[in-house]
Chains A and B, each alone.
Chain A
Amino acid sequence: MAKRKTPGLSTQSTSDIAFLLLCYFLMTSTMDQQSGLQRRLPPMPDQNQKTEDTKVNKRNIIIVKINSGDRLFAGDQSMDISQLKDKIKEFITNPTNDPNLPERENKAIEGFGEYPVSKGVISLQNDRGTSYKAYIQVQNELVRAINEVRDDFSKQHYGRVFSALTEDQQKIVKEAIPQNISEAEPKDVTKK
């Protein structure tokens, strides 16, 4: 074993380390955080569909209104944003079978069986002067209420939170607790 001349520092592995770091950053970094609240807009109504909308039973609908001063009204009652979540949860679950809260309809869900699905619809109305920030806050609270109800349901039936369920189970939960948020027609808003 003759003694070889070695360089002062071994640089063979540095490029590997550099590439490793490169890959690490590529994998982990999210340049532009793409997140938000997903919604599905209702299709543009036809002339004959408009009359159908008014037929929804009064007890099945809760009107959440935000006026131009960003004040919040839920079911004709002024309230703070922090109270909205519980109000919506009560509205969706209707724990005491209150005749003023939405009725439930037994519906067969594939892979689960019958479950009384709430027919409640949350109608969100806003003024043209409402700030987007307030609107998103309210939207967020609505989603939070629904997510919590879904979590409760998941824990009760599957013993895990909603996000930990499999895709099929999530589908069942989504069907049992639908996210019925209707974003009102703008012309309804100007009337009120």
Chain B
Amino acid sequence: MPVFKRSGKKEMPEIGSSSDIVFMFLFFFMVCSQLRSTEVKVKVKLPEATEVAKLERKDLASYIYIGSPTSQYQAQYGTESRIQLNDSFKTTTDIRDFIAAERESLSEADRQLMQVSLKADEDARMGIITDVKQELRRCSALKIMYAARKAGN
């Protein structure tokens, strides 16, 4: 029984592997933070749907957030539904520039496949969404996706 004797003598627990675990968490969180590149300033609770399809190429998607501003921005922007592009509140007229910029950032071959994901709050009114849709049509960004959560059933 030499093994038991030796382990009995040891005072400190083994900590050699903790560095690995820490690195593991480090990588894990690095990956997490990379995906959330924009700070969402509007409250977006996506509506539920059962027939959702997955977004195939995340790198080709641009996001338009629509919802009422979160509490810290309400004093400045009110509670009405607003459009958020990149990191700031914008109006429908800015969508054209946004789409142009997004399109510019893609390679020539991928431009046809660009997709706009509309992340709208379930309490938003269709008025603002229709305005956005019309503006997208005008910019001929026709591939859109209504972002939705997969329903539980």
Are B140 and A139 neighbours in the complex by a CB distance under 8 Å? no
Are B146 and A36 neighbours in the complex by a CB distance under 8 Å? yes
Contacts of B149 in A (CB 8 A): 33, 35
Interface SS, B side: mixed
Which chain B residue has the least Cβ–Cβ distance from A11?
B16
With A8-B7, A9-B14, A21-B24: A34-B117 Cβ-Cβ less than 8 Å = yes
How many chain A residues sit at the interface, stated as a range, is 35 or more
Are B36 and A43 neighbours in the complex by a CB distance under 8 Å? no
Which parts of A21-69 form the interface with B (CB within 8 Å)? 21-22, 25-26, 31-44
Q: Does B137 contact A (CB under 8 A)?
A: yes
Taking each of A38, A128, A129, which has the highest tally of chain B beta carbons within 10 Å of its own beta carbon? Answer: A38
Q: Does A78 contact B (CB under 8 A)?
A: no
With A37-B52, A144-B50: A132-B122 Cβ-Cβ less than 8 Å = yes
With A9-B14, A35-B54, A37-B148: A132-B47 Cβ-Cβ less than 8 Å = yes
Are B126 and A132 neighbours in the complex by a CB distance under 8 Å? yes
Binding site for A on B (CB under 8 A): 2-3, 6-7, 10, 14, 16-17, 20-21, 23-24, 27-28, 31-32, 35-36, 46-55, 58, 61, 66, 115, 117-118, 120-127, 129-130, 133-134, 136-138, 140, 142-150
